[in-house]
Amino acid sequence: MGERGRLGRWRWGWPLVLLGLAAAVPLLVWLGWSAISGSSDGTDVSAPVDPAAPGYEAFVDPTPTLLLIHANGDRLEAVTLLVLTDPGVEGALLFIAPETSTSDGRLSDRWAQSGSTGVVDSVAELFGIRPGELQVVGDDGWASLVAAVEPVALLSPIPLVGSDGEVLYEAGLVTLAADEVGPYLAGRSPGESPQAGFVRHFSLWAAWLEQVGESVAPDVIPGETDRGMGRFVRSLAEGRNLFTTTGGKVTDNGAVVLNPDHDANLVNEAIGFPLLASGDGVPRVRLLNGVGDLDLTKTAARALSRAGAQITIIGNASQFGWQTTKIAYHDAGFASLAETYRDALGAGSVVAEEQPNVSFDITVTFGEDFSRLATGDG
C-alpha cells in the first residue's frame, strides 16, 4: 500500500489519539490476552499432552518484554518498554520519560552514572518487573532500524520547535529520512512537558510499524529475527498495538513523579505473566480450568493478573464439571491474597488446603459460577 493509502487510514484513527491527548491523561489501553489455554508452550508437568484434556498442566513462560533505551553518549533520550501480549496478534508499548524520578535520582541520572544497568534496575524498582530483553540504540542505531522502509511518513498533531524558536517539523504530515528519526524522537520543544512530547513518539512508532508490516523485505529489521528488536518489531507490526505512558505529575523542577497505583494497574493489565523483579511476598498461583471451556482460562488469567497474581502454572482440573470456584491457599500467610483473588474473579470460596512440597502457593480452580459471570449466561 502506498503513502496515500496509509495516510487515509490515519485520518479516521487520528481523532482518537487527539481525544486522549486532550484529556491530558495517560492512555491506558485494553490489551487482549494470548490464547494460553490452547497452546502447548511451556514445560509439561503432567501426563496429558493435550491442552484440552483433564489433568493437563504446564509451566507458564513470562510475557515477552524488551526495554529499548535510546541514548547518545551520556544523554538519555527515551525509554520504551515493548510487550508482546499475544505475539503477532496484540502488543503494547509503554513510554517512560527520562525525567522519571527513582530512589536514586532521575532515569537520566541513572543512565549517566551506571548506563543500562542503572536504567534496568530503576525500571524494576518502579514497576516491579524485570524486562526479559534489553537493547540500547543511539541516533545511528535508529537510522539502521528504519532504513529498510525510509522515509517514514507520519501525522503529528504538534510541531517540534528548536531551542531558538525555529519550527523544525510542522504539525501534520511529517516525512523523515532514516537519519532524522533519532533526533526527531529525542527532540523536545521549549517548555514542553515529557507527556506532551510523547505524542510524536506515538505517531512515529505507529507509522513505522505499519510500514514494516507492509514491507516484504526479509531484512526489514536488521539483526536476528528470534530476539531483540528484530523479533519484537516484526511481531508488533503483525498485530494490533496501542500505546500508553506512565501516570504521574511533573514537578516544578521538571521531574516526573509516578503514580504507583496507576502504574501497578497498568503493568498488571499489559503484562499477563511478568518476570517479577522480586518474588518476595508474592504467591505463585496455579490456575486450573474446571469447566472445559478453554476460552475461559484466558479470561480468568486476565482477571487474576489485574489483581497482581503471579501465575506460574496453568492447565485443567483432573476432571471437569466443577460448579463452584475454589481458591485454595497452601500457606496461611497468603490467606488474605486468596480473598483478593476471589474478589477479582467475582465468584468462589476460599479454603485452606495443605499441599507440602509443591511449587505453588495458591491453586485457583474456576467453575460454572465463574463461567456464568464471565459469559453473562444466567
CATH class for the region spanning 284-375: alpha beta
How far apart are alpha carbons 120 and 134 in whole angstroms?
8
**Omega before 222 within 30 of 0, i.e. cis:** no
**Residue 28 or 253, more confident:** 253
Read off the pLDDT of each residue in 246-258 and give the average, rounded to a whole number.
87
How far apart are alpha carbons 271 and 258 in whole angstroms?
18
pTM of the predicted model, to two decimals?
0.81
pLDDT at 28: 31
Task: Answer whether residue 352 shows pLDDT above 90.
Answer: yes
How far apart are alpha carbons 292 and 308 in whole angstroms?
25
* Confidence category of residue 302, pLDDT binned at 50, 70, 90: confident
| Residue whose C-alpha cell is 485457583 | 364
The domain 3-30+63-270 is placed in CATH, from the list 3.20.20.100, 3.40.630.190, 3.50.30.10, 3.40.1380.20, at 3.40.630.190
Helix (H) or strand (E) holding 228: helix 228-238
Read off the pLDDT of residues 168-191 as tens digits, 9 standing for 90 and up.
999 999 999 999 999 999 999 999
The strand ranges marked E within the chain are 57-59, 65-72, 75-86, 90-96, 101-102, 105-106, 133-137, 152-156, 160-161, 167-169, 172-176, 240-245, 248-250, 256-258, 284-289, 310-316, 326-329, 349-352, 362-366
Grid coordinates representing 30 are 485494553
How far apart are alpha carbons 378 and 261 in whole angstroms?
34
Locate the domains of the chain by residue range.
3-30+63-270, 284-375
In sequence order, which residues have a C-beta less than 8 Å from that of residue 355 and are 6 or more positions away? 328, 330, 363
pLDDT at 378: 62
- Say how far residue 38 (Cα) sits from the centre of its chain: 21
**Residue 4 or 166, more confident:** 166
What mean pLDDT is reported for the chain?
A: 86
Q: What percent of the chain has pLDDT over 70?
A: 87
